[in-house]
């Protein structure tokens, strides 16, 4: 099924450039003032409750309100659109790029995304497993849980409104869980990684190989 | 049912206090947006759980290729299988208001997440109309002197045929009922217990519906205005519903314990500082760090 994926090539790519380049975009319109410069080392969000903000990257002023924008990841500012300094920018404009060093775990996750079917968060909210799924996970472990399209697998909670979330995708088992109960997940971020049972050996092989070969 | 409907119509026209400061054309616009609330009212003697029944009704309606009316209200005199979040016990005997308002969500996500707050504001305003000293605890619990008098549980379902997103807003208010389950005895109260006299249940129900109509209308109006004026929905301008929520709440400035399920898994204690235009609670930890939460529960310390 995934025989066409050249894992040697993928691993070599990560070996030669073990970074992810993250574009930082403006969340809304406003006057832009940079507060970081090229090659600055920036910190990501930290703290037990993810409550300590990362390094201040820039500020957007709109309607006399100044909105500070902080880095969400650790890394180095690799480029800045200096021409935008002091200018009015549109929402969604890329204003800088952060070079984020990938850890072994992140590399495994990224490679696995080639073979896992990723189920993303439909809205920025907190998520937890549907009660029957949770009790099955508690009893048998997540990789024993088979799911198919339209199964209610999660509950999304936002402002005390609970929404059942149905799975859409190919039938399979829950291989990776990317959220923790009570943690706010941004829209589009991965919640689950699903794979077919016959893909499991390949996944184990990838994990074993990265673990063995990566320093 | 007829009595509630007629009381509701009277309430809508006789309750200018909260909108007297608005120009008539704005008040009319808000009322037009909220007019869907109570477009159909069903009143049952008893039900197991209004929320489940509302779901069945949506499914049945769509199964017959009909649209389920947005603003439909289902009221039961008593519930035999009611439950709160996390399967917590919810006692719903005769004498209280137990209802589900079903709304087809037509708001953008930034505003739609304020439905929960709008329902809490509506409950609190309805109680205060009767001189009941109620206040809101974030997100939308309504308390009298720290004891719960009203609770709101909102669930969403997608219509299988229409694809519409239905918000089922379940509201329970202890009005004349004064017997509570033993475990709730010290944490629950009723309007009658506070006031020392019973209330006309139909009238309180109608008052609640008119408050829901107004506050849901306000959400739609605010969204339309923000889009029309080019401010967008992520602005920092005062939001009319949030302004009212702040005035009715006793949460801000309090020391609180927070948790997604605070009874079973409390996470931290902090001081509640404010809520933002998305209804998110801003809290300050003892070390000065700020947190912003969009879901979860608090208890006062």
How would you write B16-39 as a 3-class SS string? CHHHCCCCHHHHHHHHHHHCCCCC
Q: Do A157 and B156 touch (CB under 8 A)?
A: no
Predicted interface score ipTM higher than 0.85:
no
Residues B247-297 pLDDT 10s: 999 999 999 999 988 888 898 999 999 999 999 999 999 989 899 999 999
Of the candidates A75, A82, A74, A78, the residue with the CA atom closest to the CA atom of residue A39? A78
Which token pair is B272? Answer: 């509640």
Report the alpha-carbon distance of residue B6 to residue B45 in Å, rounded: 19
- In chain B, residues under CATH classification 3.30.930.10 are 2-228
User: Where is pLDDT greater, at B112 or A28?
Assistant: B112
Q: Which of B26-30, B206-210, B281-285 has the lowest mean pLDDT?
A: B26-30
Distance of CA B276 to the CA centre of its chain: 18
β-pair partners for B134: B144
Among chain B, residues having any CB pair with chain A shorter than 8 Å are 85, 109, 113-117, 139-140, 152-158, 167, 231-232, 234-237, 259-260, 265, 267-268, 279, 285, 289-291, 293-297
Residues A2-47 pLDDT 10s: 556 677 788 888 889 999 999 999 988 899 999 999 999 999 998 8
pLDDT at A178 over 60: yes
Q: Do B152 and A162 touch (CB under 8 A)?
A: no
Domain B252-300 has CATH 3.10.20.30: no
**Helix, strand, coil percentages for chain A (3-state, nearest 5):** 25, 40, 35
Lookup result for tokens 């920018």: A89
Domain B2-228: CATH class, spelled out: alpha beta
Collapsing DSSP states into helix, strand and coil, what is residue A59?
Answer: strand
Q: Which of A165-179, B10-24, B40-54, B135-149 has the lowest mean pLDDT?
A: B10-24
**Closest chain A residue to the Cα of B260, Cα to Cα:** A182
Question: Model pTM?
Answer: 0.83
Report the alpha-carbon distance of residue B190 to residue B55 in Å, rounded: 28
Residues B137-150 pLDDT 10s: 999 999 999 999 99
Domains and CATH numbers, chain A: 19-101 (2.40.50.100), 105-213 (2.40.50.100)
Residues B150-161 pLDDT 10s: 999 999 998 989
Q: Do B295 and A181 touch (CB under 8 A)?
A: no
**Closest chain A residue to the Cα of B292, Cα to Cα:** A51
Kindly state whether A123 is in contact with chain B, defined as any CB-CB distance less than 8 angstroms: yes
Kindly state whether A126 is in contact with chain B, defined as any CB-CB distance less than 8 angstroms: yes
Per the CB < 8 A criterion, the answer to whether B201 and B177 are in contact is no
Residues A113-172 pLDDT 10s: 878 899 999 888 999 999 889 888 988 888 888 999 989 999 999 998 988 899 988 899
Q: Residues 92 to 111 of A: which have CB under 8 A from any B CB?
A: none
The DSSP element (H or E) to which B214 belongs, if any, is helix B201-228
- In chain B, residues under CATH classification 2.30.30.100 are 252-300
Which token pair is B52? Answer: 């489940």
pLDDT at B106 over 80: yes
Per the CB < 8 A criterion, the answer to whether B73 and B101 are in contact is yes
DSSP state for residue B183 in the 8-state scheme: G
In this prediction, residue B14 carries a pLDDT of 63
pLDDT at B90 over 80: no
């Amino acid at each position: 099924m995934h025989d066409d994926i050249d894992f040697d090539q993928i691993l070599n790519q990560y070996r030669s450039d073990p970074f992810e380049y993250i574009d930082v975009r403006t969340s809304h319109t406003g006057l832009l003032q940079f507060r970081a410069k090229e090659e600055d080392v920036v910190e990501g969000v930290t703290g037990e409750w993810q409550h300590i903000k990362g390094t201040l990257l820039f500020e957007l002023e709109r309607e006399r309100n100044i909105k500070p924008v902080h880095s969400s990841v650790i890394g180095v500012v690799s480029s800045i659109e200096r021409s935008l300094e002091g200018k009015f920018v549109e929402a969604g404009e890329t204003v800088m790029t952060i070079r984020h060093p990938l850890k072994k775990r992140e590399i495994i996750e990224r490679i696995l995304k080639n073979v896992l079917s990723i189920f993303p968060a439909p809205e920025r909210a907190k998520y937890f497993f549907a009660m029957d799924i949770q009790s099955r996970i508690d009893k048998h472990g997540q990789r024993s849980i088979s799911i198919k399209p339209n199964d209610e697998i999660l509950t999304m909670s936002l402002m005390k409104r609970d929404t059942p979330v149905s799975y859409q995708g190919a039938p399979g088992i829950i291989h990776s869980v990317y959220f923790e109960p009570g943690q706010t997940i941004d829209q589009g971020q991965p919640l689950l990684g699903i794979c077919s049972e016959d893909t499991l050996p390949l996944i184990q092989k990838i994990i074993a190989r990265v673990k063995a070969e990566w320093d | 049912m007829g009595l509630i409907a007629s009381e509701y119509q009277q309430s809508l026209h006789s309750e200018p206090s909260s909108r007297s400061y608005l120009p008539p054309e704005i008040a009319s616009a808000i009322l037009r947006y909220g007019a869907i609330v109570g477009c159909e009212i069903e009143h049952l003697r008893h039900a197991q759980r209004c929320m489940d029944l509302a779901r069945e009704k949506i499914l049945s309606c769509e199964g017959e290729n009909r649209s389920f009316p947005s603003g439909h209200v289902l009221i039961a005199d008593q519930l035999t299988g009611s439950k709160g979040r996390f399967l917590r016990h919810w006692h719903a005997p005769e004498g209280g208001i137990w209802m589900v308002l079903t709304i087809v969500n037509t708001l953008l996500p930034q505003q739609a997440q304020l439905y929960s707050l709008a329902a809490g504001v509506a409950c609190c305003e309805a109680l205060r109309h009767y001189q009941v000293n109620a206040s809101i605890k974030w997100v939308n619990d309504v308390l009298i002197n720290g004891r719960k008098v009203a609770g709101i549980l909102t669930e969403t379902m997608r219509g299988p045929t229409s694809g519409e997103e239905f918000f089922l807003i379940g509201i329970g208010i202890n009005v004349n009922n004064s017997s509570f389950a033993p475990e709730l005895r010290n944490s629950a109260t009723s309007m009658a217990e506070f006031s020392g006299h019973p209330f006309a249940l139909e009238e309180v129900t109608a008052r609640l519906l008119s408050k829901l109509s107004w506050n849901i209308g306000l959400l739609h109006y605010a969204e339309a205005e923000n889009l029309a004026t080019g401010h967008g929905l992520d602005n920092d301008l005062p939001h009319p519903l949030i302004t009212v929520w702040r005035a009715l709440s006793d949460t801000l400035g309090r020391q609180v314990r927070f948790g997604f399920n605070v009874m079973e898994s409390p996470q931290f204690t902090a001081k509640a500082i404010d809520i933002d235009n998305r209804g998110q609670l801003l809290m300050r930890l003892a070390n000065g760090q700020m947190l912003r939460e969009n879901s979860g529960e608090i208890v006062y310390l």
